[in-house]
Structures are given as structure tokens and as C-alpha cells.
């Protein structure tokens, strides 16, 4: 019997981990330290004030949700 792996198990395999690590050099992504720093900053009162102080914001539904954007188009 063939065991088909669920996506949760499949992407934990070594070949996928190596592939994802290899992609990072081409994607020009930030370092793990920078990601952690920004993640911690988003939990501060300073970030909360900046985030909630926005008055006017435009959200393009075609870019936030593909099905909803398709309906509007």
C-alpha cells in the first residue's frame, strides 16, 4: 500500500528543507535575526500606536483575496 504524505508531513522532509534553504539566496530575504527583531518590534506599544494611528487606508480587494477580487472584477 502506498502511503501518501499529507502536506504537513511532506514539507518537513530533508529534501524540502534543503530546497527551501537554497531558495533564500535567490529571494534576497532578510536574515533570521532581522526577522526576529521585526517580530519582537511588532509587539511593542510603539508599533501599536503607529498601527492604530492610521486614518485613511486603501485596501485593494483584488490583491487581498483572490475570490473576492474576482467577484469585483
pLDDT at residue 65, as a whole number: 76
Q: How confident is the model at residue 44 (pLDDT cuts 50, 70, 90)?
A: very high
- For the chain, the straight-line distance linking the first and the last C-alpha, in angstroms and rounded, comes to 46
C-alpha 37/C-alpha 31 separation (Å) is 10
Cell numbers at 49, concatenated: 500606536
In tens, the pLDDT along 6-22 reads 877 888 888 888 888 88
pLDDT at res. 55 = 81
- Angle at Cα 65 formed by Cα 63 and Cα 68, nearest 5°? 110
Residues 48-72: pLDDT tens digits?
A: 998 888 887 777 766 777 777 677 7
Amino acid at each position: 500500500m502506498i502511503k501518501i504524505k499529507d502536506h504537513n508531513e511532506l514539507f518537513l522532509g530533508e529534501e524540502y528543507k534543503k530546497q527551501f534553504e537554497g531558495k533564500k539566496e535567490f529571494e534576497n530575504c532578510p536574515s533570521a535575526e532581522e526577522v526576529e527583531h521585526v517580530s519582537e518590534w511588532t509587539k511593542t506599544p510603539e508599533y501599536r500606536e503607529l498601527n492604530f494611528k492610521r486614518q485613511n487606508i486603501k485596501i485593494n480587494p483584488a490583491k487581498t483575496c483572490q475570490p473576492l477580487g474576482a467577484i469585483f472584477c
